[in-house]
Structure 1
């Protein structure tokens, strides 16, 4: 799965904003308040809408008037996403449209929800799912691409409420292939909200295969990989030794009272010491390596400002780890202010956010002839960003 474009209308700072030609590693830069966190919240909003419903996801964000763009609270919120997804053994460029508005009772409703993609090389995209106000249809025999439109089976249904996503209900059934694949994709997004303080404490004995968004289960996940994927754990330790000079051993250790602790061995000390005595940067780097070496990588990973608490010298190394993750198949979105992190990137991987007339505009750095020319002459992206040359891109 790879998201290729996102268009967002009437969602906070995104009055009408579009990201196009999105690479596997996508890094957002911009001044504070330009909307980097807003894009990540769009991902979280879609995931919340799937796990709860649209009404609760909007309520969680303060209500419709708070979520809609300033001065446009009576207009629909619209999210359109294009992504490549394997359906019935073939990779398809799929478009998902979600339009939300206020109903006559003042509560949010899903005005329109569509999943569409082309059945062949030519012609308009076919709607394999199309719902309005809780009613609509989905195709049950998507694999029959060669058949005429009238031969495709449309199953009509009505949802329990007009603020429930059709992909939530129908996506549970394999016969609705596009809806099922899209639901699975969103369910497996990982939007990181990592907190070093929560990753430090030891935990009661337990079980966890994947790092949580806040990282509080780090010892459990480290223990799972240590016991079940020894080659991956050795690779993580090898990366730690390479990325964090002085660290020679990292191991999960069970105490006599059943708690799990992480122990680190520094070459300067004879005995290993537990995580609460290790620097924030060491813990955070280890957590990122656990996340980026997950045996079952997430289809999409979103991380805000990974440079926090890390030494500047580690940031190019971390950028390399993120790119490796993206190369193996998981798309990565990152926001950053760090010139050191940006220096390790390609210009085509960077998008610049800025405000125009109070709303966000997003520009791909490689579309700028000036930046491209300077980069080709040897100026690194981080230095160009630090000099303010990303500002005012058209």
Structure 2
């Protein structure tokens, strides 16, 4: 139990930190609080305070015990900084030798004190990061290791940090709606997406272009726009044919059960070679209160304001280069909502198909990774399987069950260690005495293993786009694969494009969308809106969907 005397000591430490942007030295603090030394030792024993290298540090629990507005704000900032630090660690895949290296990856100006340095100190005192400390301030400034943050979704500050309004909390959020004009075949395009959306349509109707657009948005949330605007579009027509050299889009994201969502609006002008972001806004959409909150981002021509209603009142004026989104820089700890949205968009993953060629990285031993996410080419599949077998036995057993149901002669799956922290997956089959490494498996088996490993992974990106997963697979495995993706959609949002009637037949009508062209424009249609079609599918089942797909009847529904 923390009494008022304890709180006063903890508050005195916090007051020193906030006034000086430095953690107090034990010697100097005791000169003012000599009679409180026994209590300070007791606070250390209770993990509310730490004595590290001759300085006092509050832990997150110590901040919580302070029970002041300033302490709650610091807790909220630590929570808001979490996704940005996790992203920085994944980008660097190692420690940051010097603090400026970390700030460069975060995309913010180096400042060893204040809003970034102090929260790093609290996280270090709580055992979540490790670092060498500045002699002058005690703030982490060298050999900063953030690995301890990777497995954390939310810091233990519930009930004490300033709470975001539920509609602004992006934990478990999904991309709800896309509106797009001026990009390739899209003009006045809109699509409402579910937790699982399976897209069909003829070639050149916009399925892959929709994936490319979402990948472009994720890229732009992390990087300046190159001269070609979309780095994957070199040599292709970027802007909608016959239209001006500009594109605009709006994304709605949030939790499906929430009454409001975040709406992100952007307009980019060409020409290719000289892109300019002319407008950018992040607003709360569908807010039920009489007074609509002001935009969280509001920029025109690179100049604008950024704010967050949840932690700090007021706003900051920014100027960003013409070829950058302000969202890219909105990862400060006092901007939890824009920061969460930036992390949400930057975390999207895209899988156009795995590289299973004879020399592919997927077939070779790879370095063990902490909490790996499957690479887009599948190159770190063995690392993903290594993490599953060691840390997620339930997911591993689910994977083996799927493989047993789809691979004739399957006995077991395993991983083998190799020299210097390397690992490779191995498979055992009936009638073969030797284990088969990934290098020896068929292309189809490797593809199936990759898709199933992705589907059973406990930690998934918030949005996963998968292009034609049926390629190279026998029709009999498609029901199992569809079921695995449906289960994964409970933990992530899955968007799939397919040309397979057998695969399509495994999904409910409500999960299907049709992409088609109308007067040169891509259009997104939900066939479930047809009452006649619903009756036919209810009577016949998935076979009706397959037949209607083959006869193109699905694609011409009004």
> Common fold, TM-score beyond 0.5?
yes
Match of 2:187 in 1: 15
Q: Per-residue CA shift, 1:4-30, capped at 9, x if unaligned?
A: 11111010011221112x210011100
Taking a change above 3 Å as real, the CA distance of residues 65 and 288 of structure 1, as seen in their structure-2 partners, is: closer
- CA drift of 1:349 comes to 0.8
Match of 1:243 in 2: 406
- CA drift of 1:140 comes to 3.2
Q: Does 1:158 align with 2:319?
A: yes
Q: Does 1:376 align with 2:538?
A: yes
Contact preservation (8 Å) 1:65, 1:73: no
Match of 1:391 in 2: 555
Q: Per-residue CA shift, 1:39-86, capped at 9, x if unaligned?
A: 000111012112221235615244698211012143x20111111159
- CA drift of 1:224 comes to 2.4
Match of 2:276 among 109, 134, 139: 109
RMSD: 2.5
Alignment of 1:193-272 (within 5 A): 193=352, 194-197=354-357, 198=360, 200-207=362-369, 209-255=372-418, 260-272=423-435
Taking a change above 3 Å as real, the CA distance of residues 119 and 69 of structure 1, as seen in their structure-2 partners, is: closer
> By percentage of residues, which structure has more strand?
1
Specify the SS of the correspondent of 1:174: coil
Task: Give structure 1 regions of 4+ aligned residues with deviation exceeding 6 angstroms.
Answer: none
For the pair shown, the structure with the greater C-alpha radius of gyration is: 2
> By percentage of residues, which structure has more helix?
2
5+ long unaligned stretches in structure 1: 145-151
Taking a change above 3 Å as real, the CA distance of residues 12 and 254 of structure 1, as seen in their structure-2 partners, is: same
- CA drift of 1:234 comes to 2.5
Match of 1:138 in 2: 306
Contact preservation (8 Å) 1:119, 1:126: no
- Looking at both structures, which has the greater relative contact order when contacts are Cα pairs under 8 Å and sequence separation is at least 6? 1
Q: Does 1:98 align with 2:260?
A: no
Q: Which moved more, 1:294-303 or 1:221-230?
A: 221-230
- CA drift of 1:317 comes to 1.1
Q: Which moved more, 1:116-125 or 1:258-267?
A: 116-125
Match of 1:149 in 2: none
Residues of 2 paired with 1:65 and 1:276: CA distance? 35
Specify the SS of the correspondent of 2:252: strand
Paired residues in the alignment total 378
Q: Does 1:79 align with 2:249?
A: yes
- CA drift of 1:267 comes to 2.0
Taking a change above 3 Å as real, the CA distance of residues 250 and 388 of structure 1, as seen in their structure-2 partners, is: same
Match of 1:333 in 2: 495
Residues of 2 paired with 1:359 and 1:310: CA distance? 32
Q: Does 1:183 align with 2:342?
A: yes
- CA drift of 1:309 comes to 0.9
Taking a change above 3 Å as real, the CA distance of residues 261 and 120 of structure 1, as seen in their structure-2 partners, is: closer
5+ long unaligned stretches in structure 2: 1-172
- CA drift of 1:125 comes to 6.3
Match of 1:293 among 456, 469, 473: 456
- TM-score for both structures, normalised by structure 1: 0.88
- TM-score for both structures, normalised by structure 2: 0.64
Q: Which moved more, 1:133-142 or 1:297-306?
A: 133-142
Alignment of 1:338-353 (within 5 A): 338-353=500-515
- CA drift of 1:326 comes to 0.6
